[in-house]
Amino acid sequence: MTVIRTDGIICTTRDHGEHGCVVRLFTPDNGLMAGYARGAKSRTKRPVLMPANLVSAEFRSRTADQLASVEMELRESRAPYYEEPLAAAAFGWATLLTATVLPEEQAYARLYSAFSALLDAIASAPSARGWSAALVRYELLLLAEMGFGLDLHQCVASGAEEELIYVSPKSGGAVSRYSAQGREHLLLPLPDFLLSGDTPGWDQIFDGLKLTGHFIERHFFDGYRADSYMARQMLLDRLKRAVA
């Protein structure tokens, strides 16, 4: 019998059998972990099994290839924030993205810290502008951790390090103003806050989301996963309505 005790953030749940569900948690030391939660539909457990909640979990499995059973205790509930549609959409996308992209049982300490900080920002920021830039940075980090990092610090065409204002949608490399001449319409905008660290306005935030969304959809949500990407589009629609 293998027993693993860990904190974790619930990412997704999927009904399994009449009373249980398969839950995926992002943990600090073991990465994404899956387990079968008994009685998941009970009145006491449903509030615990909400994506973005922080729990203490105990996984038990008899063999390495067996789906573990998992018992969880709530440490921090983010359920109240689901009453706000924009926060609910942000939690839904961030947790779904993480569960979809990460391989199971591989540690990603930097990504876990960024994910936890993003969820905290969604819950505590006074407005969506306070966490939207953090979402862009999280998506960039996730791309990098999965081996699809963007090179935003040097022009892919000339090697220049100044006036980098576009990104090639094919290579993921930055493109300078000079090198982009005549083909600006073929390139993605590179918002300055990703290079400077400054606080961005909404135009830059949406440019950042357009940039990360292009590569996330291409690398992770083609084919049978395409429907899941609609959760991101729903989030973008709500953000646009909020700032209109």
Q: What is the pLDDT of residues 68-126, one digit of tens each?
A: 999 999 999 999 999 999 999 999 999 999 999 999 999 999 999 999 999 999 999 87
pLDDT in tens, the chain (244 residues): 789 999 999 999 998 877 889 999 999 999 999 999 998 778 888 889 999 999 999 999 887 778 999 999 999 999 999 999 999 999 999 999 999 999 999 999 999 999 999 999 999 987 898 899 999 999 999 999 999 999 999 999 999 999 999 999 999 999 999 999 999 999 999 999 999 888 899 999 999 999 999 999 999 998 778 889 999 999 999 999 988 7
Q: What is the pLDDT of residue 169?
A: 97
Question: String of b and e for 203-239 (b: at least 16 CB within 10 Å)?
Answer: ebbbbbbebbbebbeeebbeeeeeebbebbeebeebb
Q: How far apart are CA 170 and CA 118, in angstroms?
A: 28
Q: Please check whether residue 75 is in contact with residue 56, taking contact to mean a CB–CB distance below 8 angstroms.
A: yes
Does 80-243 match 2-77 at the fold level? no
Domain boundaries, the chain: 2-77, 80-243
Q: Can you tell me which residue has the tokens 């998992």?
A: 70
CATH class of 2-77: mainly beta
Nearest to 40 by CA among 59, 61, 66, 14: 14
Q: What is the pLDDT of residue 94?
A: 98
CATH class of 80-243: mainly alpha
Q: Can you tell me which residue has the tokens 């935030």?
A: 205
